[in-house]
Amino acid sequence: MRMMAGTDSSCASDPFQSTRRGLAFSPVQCAYQFAASYEENMERGPHLPPPSTLPPSTPLKDFLGRRVYSRIGIAAGLLMNSRWLRDYAARGFDLLTYKTVRTRAHPCHPPPNWVFVEEGDEPGGPMFALEGLPSDPALVNSAACFGMPSAAPEFWREDVMRAKEALQPGQLLLVSVAGSAQLGWDAQRLAADYAQCAAWAADAGADVIEANLLAPALPSGNGAVFRDIALSRLVAQRIQEAIGPVPLLLKVGNPDAEHELAALLRAVAGAAQGVTLSSATARRVLHRDGRPYFGAGHEVVGVQGRIHFPASVAAVRRARHLLEREGLGLTLAAVGGVASVADAAALFAAGADAVLMGSAPMYLPDLAAEMKRAHPEW
Whether pLDDT at 55 is above 50: yes
Do 164 and 209 form a contact (C-beta atoms < 8 A)?
no
Indicate the pairing of strand 23-24 with strand 72-79. unpaired
Predicted pLDDT of residue 12:
40
Instruction: State the pLDDT confidence band at 221, using cuts at 50, 70 and 90.
Output: low
**pTM exceeds 0.85 for this model:** yes
Does residue 83 contact residue 77 with C-beta atoms inside 8 Å? no
Q: CB within 8 A of 176, min separation 6: which ones?
A: 76, 97, 98, 99, 100, 101, 210, 211, 212, 251
Per-residue model confidence as pLDDT tens digits over 253-293: 988 889 999 999 999 999 999 999 998 788 999 999 999 99
End-to-end alpha-carbon separation of the chain, Å?
Answer: 36
pLDDT confidence of residue 355: 98
Beta bridge partners of 284: 300
Contact 224, 217 (CB under 8 A): yes
Per-residue pLDDT, 322: 97
- What is the rounded average pLDDT of the residues 157-181? 97
Would you state the pLDDT for residue 56?
A: 95
Q: Does domain 19-374 have CATH number 2.30.30.90?
A: no
Backbone angles phi, psi at 18, to 5 degrees: -130, 170
Across the chain, what does the average pLDDT equal? 90
Domains of the chain, residue spans: 19-374
What is the rounded distance in angstroms from the CA atom of residue 208 to the CA atom of residue 131?
Answer: 39
Residue 24 has pLDDT above 60, yes or no: no
Main-chain dihedrals φ then ψ at residue 112, nearest 5 degrees: -75, 150
Confidence of residue 223 (pLDDT cuts 50, 70, 90): confident
Q: How far apart are CA 193 and CA 91, in angstroms?
A: 34
Confirm if 198 and 122 have CB atoms less than 8 A apart. Answer: no
Q: What percent of the chain has pLDDT over 90?
A: 78
